[in-house]
Amino acid sequence: METLYLIKPGELELKAGNLREFESRLRRDIEKRMEGRARVDIRPGRFFLRVPEGLEDQAERVLSMIPGIVGYARALTCGKTMPEIGERALRIAREGRDAGHSTFKVEARRADKGFPLDSYGLARELGGLILENLPGLTVDVKRPEFTVFVEIRERAYIHGPIRKGQKGLPVGSAGKGLLLLSGGIDSPVAGYLMAKRGLSLEAVYFNAYPYTSREAWEKVRDLAAVVARYSGPIVLHTVSFTEIQRAIKRGAPEECSTLFLRAAMVQASHDLAGQIGANSLVTGESLGQVASQTAENIRFSQARTDLPIFRPLIGVDKEDTMKMARDIGTYEISILPYEDCCVLFSPEHPILRSRPDREGPMYESLNLEPYISEALRTREILEVPYST
């Protein structure tokens, strides 16, 4: 026996122009996450996923985490006759009652206008049938504890509660972004949010081995693995910034060291994005959170790229970011102790309002390009797989 899921795709309706591409991208992504063991059928406004018995848990994890889905429900299907539909509606209602609910309503949709009963008539008829057969249930159309949904389309589909999906757009429909992933709380959340806007992700982590440890790297890898539950597989590039940090320490005033490190990260990310075909950078920056995240300093560090830098957390309070991190499952990993690659220098009084005409020439005189290209050339590359 197969289990059927009815899926409500996300903002696809808005995309009339490339609807087909969006749909087939979402379909391929669902099938890939099901390891080819389940099939998706695309119907107007709905997808149907057929899952072999025993894979329901996997299917529900996939459907609850994949970007591009508003909601999904386990559904029953049958021919378009009242006895068949009634039998399924009763089964769904019984499940609701067994789950401890006592009020319900029937919500019917008739996409096939050839069906003899209209939506209202259908809902009334099925509501009556349920009341007759399942004592203890009463109708409450305003605030029912559960709803029996019926859709008459090419066949009849009957289902109970709709579970929430992640919404957003299918991964990859907006191209590929390069996520600057640190071991902190913010950047994994930023990656998750942009994956939901349709970016597939690769990630770059700048370490300062031997000043930062292998454990710090493992933490970043584990964070990438959690983000990958939503975004799909992530290629993680680990780039050694030890020489670059030494060069900054040697040649720059102490108060500029963090600022210049950020600028060098953006510069390296820009070059890496070019090599891997990413159309944008993604960071976890939030305005004013730390000295390097003032408007002036963000301007300074972004001057080394003309790619768009997506900062979905720029206006988000730390507390709200922490809540999202808990919800998606990265928080517990992010708060593990680790050394940031700033360990080589944490200036006591970092510059807050840098100026391109003042600090710009200083940064340029460090001549970091050769170090950056060498660091990129010798980077470590790991494919962090998708898993539910």
- Positions touching ligand ATP (CB under 6 A) are 180-182, 184-187, 204-206, 265, 283-285, 289-290, 292-293, 341
**What is the SS3 assignment for 348?**
coil
Q: Which residue lies nearer to ligand ATP by CB, 59 or 203?
A: 203
The entry of Mg ion, ligand ATP, none near residue 289 (CB within 5 to 8 angstroms by kind) is: ligand ATP
Strands across the sheet with 200-207, in order? 309-310, 280-282, 176-180, 200-207, 234-240, 380-384
CA 255, CA 11: separation in Å to the nearest integer?
Answer: 46
Q: In this structure, what token pair is assigned to residue 72?
A: 């999904």
Residue number with the shortest CB distance to ligand ATP?
Answer: 184
Q: Which residue lies nearer to ligand ATP by CB, 153 or 270?
A: 270
CB of 142 to Mg ion, least distance (A): 48
Q: How far is CA 46 from the centre of its chain?
A: 21
Strands 146-152 and 69-78: unpaired
CA 272, CA 268: separation in Å to the nearest integer?
Answer: 6
Q: Which residue lies nearer to ligand ATP by CB, 202 or 285?
A: 285
Segment interacting with Mg ion (CB under 5 A) among 29-37, 99-107, 181-189, 368-376: 181-189
Q: Which residue lies nearer to ligand ATP by CB, 38 or 259?
A: 259
- Is the dihedral angle over the CA atoms 335, 341, 342, 345 positive or is it negative? positive
CA 297, CA 281: separation in Å to the nearest integer?
Answer: 17
CB of 52 to ligand ATP, least distance (A): 40
Q: Which residue lies nearer to ligand ATP by CB, 93 or 185?
A: 185
Candidate residues 9, 67, 68, 184; the one interacting with Mg ion per rule CB under 5 A? 184
Decide if 40 contacts 68 (C-beta within 8 A).
Answer: no
Q: Which residue lies nearer to ligand ATP by CB, 123 or 208?
A: 208
The entry of Mg ion, ligand ATP, none near residue 103 (CB within 5 to 8 angstroms by kind) is: none
The entry of Mg ion, ligand ATP, none near residue 150 (CB within 5 to 8 angstroms by kind) is: none
The strand pairing partners of 204, in sequence order, are: 180, 237
CB of 291 to ligand ATP, least distance (A): 8
First to last CA, the chain: 23
The entry of Mg ion, ligand ATP, none near residue 297 (CB within 5 to 8 angstroms by kind) is: none
Report if residue 160 touches Mg ion, rule: CB under 5 A: no
CA 153, CA 331: separation in Å to the nearest integer?
Answer: 43
Cis peptide before 210 (omega within 30 of 0): yes
Candidate residues 77, 147, 166, 182; the one interacting with Mg ion per rule CB under 5 A? 182
The entry of Mg ion, ligand ATP, none near residue 180 (CB within 5 to 8 angstroms by kind) is: ligand ATP
The entry of ligand ATP, Mg ion, none near residue 73 (CB within 5 to 8 angstroms by kind) is: none
Q: Which residue lies nearer to Mg ion by CB, 212 or 354?
A: 212
Count CB-CB contacts under 10 A for residue 71: 17
Residues with Cβ < 8 Å from 25, sequence gap 6 or more? 68, 170, 171, 172, 173
CB of 247 to ligand ATP, least distance (A): 16
Binding site for Mg ion (CB under 5 A): 182, 184
